[in-house]
């Protein structure tokens, strides 16, 4: 018997109604190649395979691999790989004709670095559906000017359109997590919508702007940037970082990285 491991963020879904609801919400069809992050004991894998899709699962806990291979031995569309999703190169599974759809009830202990890793790999991905701690979903979907608006919000919304789908209570899992959960959909934006001249510079600017969120932009940026440029692009240095929209950050980053003649 496999015992749930805390260090791998293992909270297995056992509520059949919720499992079906998540499966339906993904909109996966037989034409898709789905990559499932953290299949665990196969609760979601089962509903994904029932759609007829090809499913490749990436699981870090090697003790779960024989369980999954036994459970789905008669499913030719199923492959499980032992691996760490944080380091995984998703381009190895996608083709230009069949970009991948990602699905996962993610390990909450690594959700933020995992999302940043997936944003870097977005060219190979057409759609993502994830279960996350509700607080993280709130941050992904946050509007400017709210408490949940953060670096994670700005970089996710720059690369993707996020949609909160529904909440999932702790009772749907075993063992039960101490937090509420939610399902979020992230759809990568087409390259033509990405207007930053230098995404590394954008990421640096957003990180620096949010370094102390209770301070003004002036205070956060003064050591690293030419503050005169804020006024040039019409941004008041006396405001707090969470007031700036994603477009404001892109506009400011482009202005700051433009070569001066
Ligand atoms: N999908 C299953 C379910 O819904 O019942 C399990 C979800 S559980 C919250 C998270 C799963 O991710 C576990 O199976 C865990 O072993 C796996 N996992 C943890 N860290 C991982 C990583 N870095 N890469 C891939 N899988 C990981």
Closest atom of ligand 1 to 58 CA is 25
Q: Please, what's the largest Cα pairwise distance for the chain? A: 68
E strand residue ranges, the chain: 12-13, 33-37, 54-59, 78-82, 100-105, 125-133, 160-168, 173-174, 181-188
Which residues have C-beta within 8 Å of that of residue 96, sequence separation ≥ 6?
Answer: none
Q: Which residues pair with 203 in a beta bridge?
A: none
Q: Is the CB of 188 under 6 A from ligand 1?
A: no
**Is-contact 133 179, C-beta < 8 A?**
yes
Say if residue 11 carries a ligand binding annotation: yes
Q: What is the dihedral of CA 201, 226, 158, 84, to 10 degrees?
A: 40
The gap from C-alpha 192 to its chain's centroid, in whole angstroms, comes to 21
Helix, strand and coil content of the chain, in percent to the nearest 5, comes to 40, 20, 40
How many other CB atoms are found less than 10 A from the CB of residue 117?
16
Q: What average pLDDT does this structure show over 41-47?
A: 98
For the Cβ of 12 lying below 6 angstroms from any atom of ligand 1, the answer is yes
Q: Which token pair is 218? A: 């002036």
Ranges of each domain in the chain? 6-191, 199-257
Per residue in 73-111, pLDDT (tens digit) is 999 999 999 999 999 999 999 998 889 999 999 999 999
Q: Given ligand 1 and candidates 6, 9, 72, which is best to mutate, with the most ligand atoms within 8 Å of its CB?
A: 9
Q: Is the CB of 164 under 6 A from ligand 1?
A: no
Domain 6-191 shares a fold with domain 199-257 = no
Specify the CATH number of the domain 199-257.
1.10.8.100
pLDDT of residue 94: 94
Per-residue pLDDT at 7 exceeds 90:
no
Q: Does domain 6-191 have CATH number 3.40.50.150?
A: yes
- 136-194 pLDDT, tens per residue? 999 999 999 999 999 999 999 999 999 999 999 999 999 999 999 999 999 999 999 99
* 8 CB within 6 A, ligand 1: yes
Read off the pLDDT of each residue in 213-240 and give the average, rounded to a whole number. Answer: 93
ipTM of this complex prediction, to 2 decimal places = 0.99
| Ligand 1 atom with least separation from CA of 40 | 14
Measured CA to CA, the distance from residue 99 to residue 132 in angstroms comes to: 23
**HEC-encoded secondary structure of 35-65:** EEECCCCCHHHHHHHHCCCEEEEEECCCCHH
């Amino acid at each position: 018997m496999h015992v749930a491991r805390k260090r791998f963020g293992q909270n297995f879904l056992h509520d059949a109604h919720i499992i079906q609801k998540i499966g339906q919400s993904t909109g996966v069809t037989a034409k898709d190649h789905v990559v499932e992050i953290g299949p665990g004991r196969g609760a979601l894998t089962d509903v994904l395979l029932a759609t007829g899709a090809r499913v490749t699962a990436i699981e870090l806990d090697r003790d779960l691999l024989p369980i999954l291979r036994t459970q789905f031995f008669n499913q030719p569309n199923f492959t499980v790989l032992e691996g760490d999703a944080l380091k995984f190169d998703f381009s190895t599974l996608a083709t230009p004709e069949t970009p991948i759809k990602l699905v996962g009830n993610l390990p909450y202990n690594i959700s933020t670095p995992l999302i940043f890793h997936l944003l870097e790999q977005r060219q190979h991905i057409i759609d993502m559906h994830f279960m996350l701690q509700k607080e993280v979903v709130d941050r992904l979907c946050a509007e400017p000017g709210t408490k949940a608006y953060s670096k994670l919000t700005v970089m996710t919304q720059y690369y993707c359109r996020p949609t909160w789908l529904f909440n999932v209570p702790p009772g749907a899992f075993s063992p039960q997590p101490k937090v509420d959960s939610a399902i979020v959909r992230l759809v990568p934006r087409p390259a033509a919508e990405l207007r930053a001249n230098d995404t590394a510079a954008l990421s640096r600017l957003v990180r620096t702007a949010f370094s102390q969120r209770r301070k003004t932009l002036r205070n956060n940026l003064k050591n690293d940037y030419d503050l005169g440029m804020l006024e040039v692009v019409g941004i008041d240095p006396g405001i707090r970082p969470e007031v700036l929209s994603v477009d404001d950050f892109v506009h400011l980053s482009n202005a700051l990285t433009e070569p001066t003649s």
